[in-house]
A = this chain, B = another copy of it.
Amino acid sequence: MSSGCSRQYDEGRDSDVYGAALMAVSMHDVARAAGVSQRTVSNVVNNYEYVRPETRQRVLDAMAALGYVPNAAARSLRAARTGLIALVVPDFRARLFADLAGPVVREAEALGYTVLIELTEGDRARELKVLTGDRNQLTDGAIMVALSLRPDDGQRRRADYPVVLVGDEVLEGQIPHVGIPNREASLAVVRHLAGTGRRRLMLLGYAPDQSQTGRARLQGFLEGLEEAGLTAYEELLVEAGWAREDGRRAIEEHMDAGRPMPDAIFAMNDSCALGALRALYDRGVRVPQEVAVVGFDDAEEARYSTPSLTSVSPNVEALAGNAVAMLHEQITGKPSGHEPRIVVDFQLKVRESSQ
C-alpha cells in the first residue's frame, strides 16, 4: 500500500474525469516505468548534460507513455521561487493598462516568467499589500501601477519582495520605477501647437490636488507656454476628470458659460480629448480650423477618430520591457544595470486634429 503506490488517487482516476486536476503522474512513476532512479528522470526533464542518450530516450518514452507533466508547485517549493510575477493594475478598462499587459506578458515569458493579474480598483489597501508583501507568497515579484500610494508608504515596503512601479512616481527614489515622460511630452505638445501658430492654449483635465502625472503634465504645459512667450490664461486651465464624459461636459460647460474659447486644447489623455472633440463637433466648432485638439496616450481610437487625434505616444513596449527587466534583476539579485528610475521615450503623433 505504501511502497508500491506513490499517489493517493490511483483508484477511480477514470471516473474522476474532472477532479484532482494536478496530482497526475509523478517523476517517481516515470522512474519506475523507465527502470531508472528519480534523479535520472529529473536530469532528463531539466536537460542535464550527462545522461546516456539511450537512458534519456527510455525516460522520454516513459514520460510520453504516462503523460508526465512536471508539477510546478513542487518545483517552486524546492526552488524557493515560483516563476510567477504579478501585474497589478487598477483596472483593465483604462486603455493604457490593458495595453501594458500584452508586452509585459511577452517580455516576462522571454525571461521565463508567467504573469498573473491583480486588480486593485485603485484601492489603497490593496496597493499597500503589494508593497508590504502581505499576500500569499505566490509571486516572485510585482509590477504595479499604483494610484493611491502616498509618498511615505515606501517605508512600509517589505525589503525582500521585489516591486517595480510603473507610471506615477509617488515613492520617489524608494522603489524602482519606470515612468512616462509627462513633463517632456507636454512641453513637446505646446511647442508643436505654438509652432503651428496657436496662441491661446487650454489645458483640459487640470485638478487642484493632482496626481503626479497631472502635475508633471501641467508643469510641462506651463514651461512650454513660457518658452514660447505665450500667456497662461487662468480660465483656460480647465478642471475636469480624464474620462470621455468629463472632457465632453467640461467643454460644453465652458462654452455654455460663454467663457473665451482657446485656439488649441491639450487634454490630459485621449479619452478626455475625444470627449472634447465630440462636444466641439456637436456645437459646430471646426477642428482643427478653429481649435486644435491634442491628447495623451495614443490610444487606438485616437488614430481612427474623426478627425484623427494628435496624441503623445509613450513607448509602451519600453515601459513593459524595462519594468520586467528591472523586476528580473531584483528577483535574481543581480546588480542593476538599469538605473532604479527610468523614463521611457515618446513620440508626438501629429494627426488631423492639430494640422
Interface residues of A (CB under 8 A from B): 13, 16-24, 67, 69-74, 76-77, 80-82, 84, 87, 91-93, 98-99, 101-102, 105-106, 109, 114-119, 133-138, 140-141, 158-162, 244, 274-275, 277-278, 281, 300-301, 303-306, 329-333
Q: Is the CB of B331 within 8 A of A80?
A: no
Q: Is the CB of B119 within 8 A of A117?
A: no
**Residues of the B chain whose Cβ atoms lie less than 8 Å from the Cβ of A115:** 116-117
Choose among B13, B117, B301 the residue that contacts A301 (Cβ–Cβ < 8 A).
Answer: B301
Q: Is the CB of B306 within 8 A of A281?
A: yes
Q: Is the CB of A105 within 8 A of B119?
A: yes
Given A116-B84, A116-B116, does the pair A20, B160 have CB atoms closer than 8 Å? yes
Q: Is the CB of A82 within 8 A of B22?
A: yes
Given A92-B98, A101-B92, A306-B278, does the pair A80, B160 have CB atoms closer than 8 Å? no
User: For the complex, what is the distance from the CA of A228 to the CA of B300, rounded to whole Å?
Assistant: 37
User: For the complex, what is the distance from the CA of A87 to the CA of B116, rounded to whole Å?
Assistant: 9
**Residues of the B chain whose Cβ atoms lie less than 8 Å from the Cβ of A80:** 20-23
Q: Is the CB of A159 within 8 A of B17?
A: yes
Q: Could you list 29 A-B pairs, sorted by A, with CB under 8 Å?
A: A13-B160, A16-B333, A18-B330, A21-B80, A21-B81, A21-B140, A22-B80, A23-B80, A69-B135, A69-B137, A70-B136, A71-B77, A72-B136, A72-B137, A73-B73, A73-B77, A77-B77, A91-B102, A93-B102, A98-B101, A105-B118, A105-B119, A114-B118, A244-B300, A244-B304, A274-B301, A300-B301, A305-B306, A306-B306
